Amino acid sequence: MSKLSEAIANICEKRQWLYKPILLMESGAKKLIFRCQDCGQCVLSQNAFTCCMRCPKQIRNGPCGGTRPNGRCEVYPNRACIWWLIHRRAKRLGVVHKLKKYHIPADRRLQYTSAWMNMFAGRILPLQLGKKPKEVTLTKKDPPPLR
């Protein structure tokens, strides 16, 4: 992102006593609201604020071919398909075009790390709040030193 945010991430990621509370806070809040699965590379802002990692197959470019006619998941007939939910909410928010973006394979090293810090450090794409998706080149590839 910026020099400043990278510096902040750098400071936090090297100190367990700082990193752990941030992670707990982030993950706790996102668990309550979005049922976050701690993938560490948040795509909430691109997927109409619905977490796609809740999908049993964790598809980041969904949906799979099995969504039932009533919008239920093929695996759990009593649950909605996450991607059906994403699409419905994207329609309401008017951001369906954002779903056209291809998501690269998840970096499994980032599981259980703080997506906020990863964003500050420039490891993952920043929040996509506007109508237009931002294109940013990522500066860092390595996972945070503390996990």
In whole angstroms, give the CA distance from residue 103 to residue 32.
25
C-beta closer to other proteins: residue 43 or 117: 43
Partner from ligand SF4, other proteins, none contacting 104, C-beta within 5 to 8 A by type: other proteins
Smallest separation, CB 125 to other proteins (Å): 16
Give the residue with the Cβ less far from ligand SF4, 3 or 20: 20
Residue 97 burial (10 A CB sphere; 0-12, 13-18, 19+): exposed
Compute CA distances 46 → 7, 77, 129, 135, whole Å. Answer: 25, 26, 8, 12
Q: List residues binding other proteins (CB under 8 A).
A: 56-71, 74-75, 81, 83-84, 86-88, 96, 99-100, 102-106, 108
